[in-house]
Amino acid sequence: RVTAQNGYEILCVRARSPQTEAEWQAIELYLTHSPVGKLLQARFRDKIEDANTVEKIKGWPVLTFDPTDEPCPPPLMADLVWAWPLILLGAAIQVMCLWLLRLRKH
């Protein structure tokens, strides 16, 4: 049992490996049409429905989550305050690089 959190809700779920063919087909669809799928190499994406590729995918650490009424671990306090200095530093570096490139052109 695990606690799943997103920005809107906290769910108690049971994590398990996909069991049915329909669940594996849903994973194939996700890999084909999701932003994650766009990160896959093109040659792998083109073979996503190939039997050998499907067998490789079944070896990946993939989990399915089923809602449960059983007790779960308590949720974490989501706090992304630590990310703001990194975001601001990244923006400052980008502005500085653009400024330096502009100076170099002149």
Give dist(CA 44, CA 59) in Å, integer. 15
Nearest by Cα to 76 from 11, 13, 5, 7: 5
Question: pLDDT digit string (tens) for 83-98?
Answer: 888 999 999 999 999 9
**Burial (0-12, 13-18, 19+ Cβ within 10 Å), 51:** exposed
Q: What confidence tens digit (pLDDT) does each residue in 52-91 have?
A: 777 777 888 889 999 999 998 888 776 777 888 899 999 9
